[in-house]
Structure 1
Amino acid sequence: MTRINGRALGLWSLRIDAIYCVLLGGAVAVASAQIARTIAQPAWLLALAGSVVVVWAGLVMVMVAKLRLRIALRLVMGVNIVAALLVAACSMTAGSMLAAFIVVAIAIDILLFAVSQALALRTLPAPEAVAG
C-alpha cells in the first residue's frame, strides 16, 4: 500500500480549491441576478459574495507561495468549513427542492476541500523540532 504524500496532496488541494473558487465565484458574480430569483438572496449580495470568493482564490495562491504549507492548509481549511456552513444555510432560502439540492451540493464540494486539506495536514511529516 502506498502512503499518501501530504505535501503533494496539500499543494494540489489548495491549487484546485483556488481554481474552483475562481470558477464558482465568477459564475455567481456574473449570474447573481438569475440566482437571486431562485434563492431568496439579494442580487447585490450574491455578486459581492462571488467577487469575494474570486479575491479569496488569489489569496489562497499567495498563501501557497508565501506561507508554510501547514499554516496555509489550516487557514484555508477553516475558511472552507465556515463557507460550507454559510452556503448550506443559503439552501434554506431556495425556492425549489432542486435549487436547494444544488446549493447543498456546492456546500458539500466546499466541505470536501476542507476534508482533503485535513487529510493533507494529517499526512504531512511532523515539523522539525527547533533546537534551542
Structure 2
Amino acid sequence: MIRINGEKFGRWSLRLDAAYCAVLGCAVALFAEQIAEGVALSPFLIAVAGIVVVVWAGWIVLMLARLPLQLVLRIVMVANVLAALAVGSASLAAATVLIVAAVVAVAIDIALFATSQLIALRTLPELT
C-alpha cells in the first residue's frame, strides 16, 4: 500500500485549488455576458462571482503561507463543499442540458478538491 505524505499532498491540493480558482474566476468574469445567456442569472452577478473566486484564490495562497496547514485545509475544504453546492444549484437555472452538464462538471471539480483536502487532513499526524 502506498503511504500518502499528508503535508505534501495537502500543499499540492491547495496550490492546485488556488490555480484552478484563479483561472476559472478570470474566465467567469471575462465571459459573464456569454455565461448569462445560458443561465438565468445576471451578467453582473456572474462577473462578481468570478472576481470573488479570483480573490479567494489569492486568499488560499496567503493562508497557506501564514496559517497552519490543517487549519487551511479545513477552511478551504468547507468552502469547497459550500461552493460545490452553490454551483450545483446554479445548474437549476441552466437553459439546456449541455449547460447543465457543464455547470455540474464544475461542481464535481470543486467537490473533488474538497475530497483531496479531506484525504490530506486524514493523513496528517494528529496535533496534540
Q: TM-score, normalising length from structure 2? A: 0.99
Trace 1:86-105 onto structure 2 (pairs within 5 A): 86-105=86-105
The aligned counterpart of 2:42 is: 42
Structure 1 position 82 matched with structure 2 position 82: yes
Trace 1:11-30 onto structure 2 (pairs within 5 A): 11-30=11-30
Unaligned runs of 5+ in 2: none
Q: CA deviation at 1:126?
A: 1.3
Letter matched to residue 117 of structure 1:
Q
Percent identity at matched positions? Answer: 53
Q: TM-score, normalising length from structure 1? A: 0.96
CA distance in 2: counterparts of 1:85 and 1:41, whole angstroms? 16
CA RMSD of the aligned region, Å? 0.5
Q: CA deviation at 1:2?
A: 2.2
Q: What CA deviation, in whole Å up to 9, does each residue of 1:48-75 have, x standing for no partner?
A: 0000000000000001000000000000
Q: What CA deviation, in whole Å up to 9, does each residue of 1:62-100 have, x standing for no partner?
A: 010000000000000000000000000000110000000
Query: Residue 125 of structure 2: SS of its match in structure 1?
Result: coil
CA distance in 2: counterparts of 1:56 and 1:27, whole angstroms? 14
CA distance in 1: counterparts of 2:89 and 2:126, whole angstroms? 36
CA distance in 2: counterparts of 1:126 and 1:79, whole angstroms? 22
If you compute each CA radius of gyration, which structure gives the higher value, 1 or 2?
Answer: 1
CA distance in 2: counterparts of 1:79 and 1:14, whole angstroms? 12
Unaligned runs of 5+ in 1: none
The structure 1 segments of at least 4 consecutive aligned residues displaced by more than 3 Å after TM superposition are none
The aligned counterpart of 2:64 is: 64
